[in-house]
Amino acid sequence: MSSGVDRLRRIGGEDRGLSPQIGFVILLGMVFIGSILVITLGMGLIDSLESESESEITYAAIDSTEHSLTTAALEGQIQGLNLDDATYRDDGTVHLAWYDASDTNTVYDANVTIDRLGALEYDLDDRTVIQQSGARWERQNGEYRTDQGPNIRYDGDFLQLRLLTLDEDDARSGDPVARPNYDSDLPDRIEAARAEAANRGYNDLAFVVQSEYHDGWVDYLDSELSGHENITVNASESNPVIGDGGPNTVEVVMKNVTDTDAPDFWVKEDHGIVTGEHASENVFVSDSPDPLRFQATIENVGDERQTQDVNLTILDEDGNEVLDVGNETELDGGEETIVNFTIDDHESELEYGVYDYDVETDSDSLDDIGSFYYAKQEAPWLAVTNQTVDGVDASDETDPVNASEELVTLEADVQNVGLDPIEDESIEFVLEFDDEDWEFTDTATVERDRGEKATVSWELNRSELFEGDHTFTVSTADDDAAGHFYVYDARDVGSSEIVLGPDTGVNVTIVGSEMSNSDPHDCTDCETAHVSEKSEGSFVEGDRVGYEWETREGEWNYDATEPEWNDSGGWNSDADPECIDEAWDGSCEEYGFPDSTEFWWDDDGGWDIRWENRQDHNANQWGWDGPIEAGEAPDDEPEFQVDGYEINWVAASADLVTQPVDEDGTAIGEPTRLGDVPWHDTNLNRFDEPRPLYEYSFTTEERVSFMISATSYNHGGSDFCGSYTDRTFTDTYDGAVWDHTECSDDAVLADEDDELVSLSADTETEETNVRVLGEDDVQLPELDPGVERQMSTDELLERPEVDVPVDEDGYLDLGEHEYIFVFEITHHPIQHNSNPSVDRNISPDDYWDEAHETNGDPNFNDMIAHVEISPSGGGLPDLDPSFSGAEGDAASGGTGGSDDPTESGNSSGDNVDVGTDEIIIG
């Protein structure tokens, strides 16, 4: 990977960086240039200077040495040196470390150690002159004076740090010289540390010098650098950030001297598909022996190193993600690399066709996404996909589409997933009706270019189709696909109506109307009744009648008469008669049946027993469990007193209504009451055994909304009929006598003021009190009748003439064309809002929910209608569909485009090169 050296620039010099000293410059970033001067001492140093002018001579030698070293570095030439008065000192170690000041352990990630700075000392009578790393100090009486400081400068933005190392080469002889040394690795080490620091985002710098000339270093560094808030100079530092501490250690800590940019991965170039014969076109054939591989060049235009997932995202033609391929990529700041995205299992991951794709990093993606064509084979191959009915996906056989439009459109896409084009290729359309052995076939021809996809379409009139489930299949020589739909003859079931298409047969049956006073008047043992048919029941222990026969008649000493057996018929029992009261002389004074529990009539023989309506305590009491008749018993039939009830039946009527509507179910005409229904204007709420069925059939001539209106009446009086009382009759039920009062048919023709609840029939009116059950809504709110003698809803519906099963939870088992209308006409949110009182503005759905959640009204069991639909049509359809074959575009591919990177990286803003010049003196 690239080291990021293009982020650096060289300070001073020509191509080889002819600087007299090792140094680096920081200006919104850091720049390093190094030169090492290795000094070879010649024949030795002059021990002393004799005259008063020795000091001047020595300073002249120092100046000459500095000039020679500078010239050797700048010009790259060997220079002679005058070191007669100098002594070489093997002194000085420097540590440079870029790190994160919040974690001092990071100092070991990016650091450089200069093992030896070296120094020259010139001893004068009263002082010593020292040259080290470009600085010149005078030491006198243990104190230092700086004549010339090291080349270290900082103005708050720009940091210049240049160091000079001197090394002694004892292997040379003759006059000392200074020559460049290009073999040192110091510049490379400095650059590597700097690059590593940038990659890690380290912006703090520690500069530690260990030298016996510590005081001179401190004197200069403190005066030059301590005035800045982000720099601290620590003298005699015992615990420096890096290196050994002690009295001779000076530490400079510089915080935030650089400002590195965060990593920023830029999608520099998209290379697209790079495998297969057609890679140059961004086309790949699935049967290629090569893996499907994409490539892109990614560059980290930030300063810091990072590892990111670089992703190739493949999108279908609708922009939905199909596949995502990631590649974990690590880049240093400024580094770029080619990233591979390989899809080995492309045949299972991709379908044939044109795809878009994008290459994405954490912060960048293609400016213009790429596209490619994934082909099945070289030769043409016509695939059939995306089968729809009226624009809705029809591929699921278990969920066929409701073909509700007048013109049904059946479509599929036909695509050439090969490379070569094809012309005049035949396709076949087959339509099947699932419930009949019938099918319709049509053929057409198409042409398709490489990858071209276009829709083929057949349009049929729905009125020409069967009512029920259909399957259509579109086939080519290579492929086929089936779609599924159903036709319900334009029926649309609403909450209170059914929308029907023309020529639809409708059969309506009012299966029950059950409304009466909620608390029939009653009395106890107030009615006389008798056994209607002796052979249809039996007497069991109870409290209705007693029995007896003659036991004593005449003189007091006559014996009791024993019951006689009659072979011509009598009351049989499960025990024989016995004497139950014996006289003192052993005669029987009374016979009875003490062990009997039941008596029944047997025409082949039985006991002659006289049954009497006796309530005295001496009578043996028995109850009759068979049918009874009201009134006194003829002849000698058993007779008894029973409870009595009076029940009054409310008059009610229903009307069948149609209203023309358009395709959206919007009314385009007025509601019309069907004119020839024989039971219109008839009181439908009569008590008959069995309940009557009011039936009517008709056929629609146009698209209509079919509705049923219902009305209940109260004409006053305790019987609801007022002057319209038709009849009062009596029957018996459950051992009681019931008196019934019904209203005449005139009661439903009376003035509107006598209406209890009247429901409208208008498609534009939301009616709360009628509900159509069918399709998804099939649960009744109440099964039990509201009053005894009324029939329950399930009893009405499960009669053989109606045959609609109802389970224990009220769910109807309706056929495909069956509907149930249920009515609530003894309660209404506005017209009769009592017991209970509900919100006058309650919605139909909330009113229906109220019926399910509460007992009593509303319960929608006042009137029930059964509706059966016979869909339009008959015989076999004679189809003449309209075919349409659209044209598409040939498939093509192309690589994506990249935009310019964001302003990232190169924190100094300069283009920097690294160069080192090193001088060997010897």
CB atoms under 10 Å from CB of 843, counted, come to 13
Lowest mean pLDDT among 213-222, 490-499, 673-682, 829-838: 490-499
Report which of residues 168 and 856 the model is more confident about.
856
| Cα 459–Cα 463–Cα 467 angle in degrees, nearest 5 | 105
Cβ neighbours of residue 720 closer than 8 Å, sequence gap 6 or more: 517, 648, 649, 650, 651, 713, 714, 743
pLDDT the model gives residue 88: 86
Which of the four pLDDT bands, split at 50, 70 and 90, describes residue 559?
Answer: low
Q: Are strands 36-39 and 382-389 parallel, antiparallel or unpaired?
A: unpaired
Quick check: 866 pLDDT over 90? yes
Q: Can you tell me the mean pLDDT for 671-689? A: 91
Start-end of H helices in 719-862: 793-797, 844-853
Q: Are 685 and 513 in contact (CB under 8 A)?
A: yes
Quick check: 487 pLDDT over 50? yes
> Rounded to two decimals, what is the model's pTM?
0.49
Quick check: 489 pLDDT over 70? no
CB atoms under 10 Å from CB of 410, counted, come to 24
Q: Are 442 and 429 in contact (CB under 8 A)?
A: yes
Give the whole-angstrom CA distance, residue 677 versus residue 710.
14
Structure tokens at 71: 């010239």
Quick check: 542 pLDDT over 50? yes
CB atoms under 10 Å from CB of 77, counted, come to 12
pLDDT the model gives residue 93: 92
pLDDT the model gives residue 553: 44
Going through 142-227 in order, the beta strands assigned E by DSSP cover: 143-148, 152-154, 158-163, 165-168, 177-180, 204-210
CA 757 to chain centre: 47
Cβ neighbours of residue 525 closer than 8 Å, sequence gap 6 or more: 641, 642, 643
Q: Are 317 and 354 in contact (CB under 8 A)?
A: yes
Report which of residues 57 and 800 the model is more confident about.
800
How does pLDDT run across 17-38, given as a tens digit for each residue?
A: 323 333 333 332 333 334 444 4
256 Ramachandran zone, left/alpha/beta (phi>0; psi -120 to 50)? left
pLDDT the model gives residue 390: 94
Give the whole-angstrom CA distance, residue 487 versus residue 466.
7
Buried-exposed string 348-382: b where 16+ CB fall within 10 A, e elsewhere: eebebbbbbbbbbbebbebeebbbbbbbbeeebbb
Report the length, in residues, of the chain: 922
Lowest mean pLDDT among 83-87, 170-174, 779-783: 170-174
End-to-end CA distance of the chain: 39
Quick check: 463 pLDDT over 90? no
Q: Report in angstroms the alpha-carbon separations of 372 from 353, 354, 381, 449, 517.
A: 9, 6, 18, 16, 80
pLDDT the model gives residue 467: 72
How does pLDDT run across 739-786, given as a tens digit for each residue?
A: 888 889 999 887 777 888 988 887 777 888 898 888 677 888 877 777
Residue given tokens 């004119």 in the structure block: 675
Q: Can you tell me the mean pLDDT for 124-146? A: 89
CA 66 to chain centre: 79
DSSP helix/strand/coil, 356: strand
Look up residue 722 and give its amino acid: G
- Residue 673, H or E segment: strand 672-673
Which of the four pLDDT bands, split at 50, 70 and 90, describes residue 271?
Answer: very high
Report which of residues 571 and 178 the model is more confident about.
571
DSSP state of 14: S
pLDDT the model gives residue 31: 35
pLDDT the model gives residue 615: 65
The proportion of the chain whose per-residue pLDDT surpasses 70, expressed as a percent, equals 86
Going through 345-381 in order, the beta strands assigned E by DSSP cover: 353-360, 370-375
Q: Are 52 and 193 in contact (CB under 8 A)?
A: no
Tell which residue, 544, 549, 539, has the closest CA to residue 598: 539
- Residue 179, H or E segment: strand 177-180
Cα torsion 568, 571, 573, 577: sign: negative
Structure tokens at 843: 């919605």
Structure tokens at 82: 């005058």
pLDDT the model gives residue 481: 96
Residue given tokens 């790393």 in the structure block: 133
User: What mean pLDDT, rounded, does the chain reach?
Assistant: 82
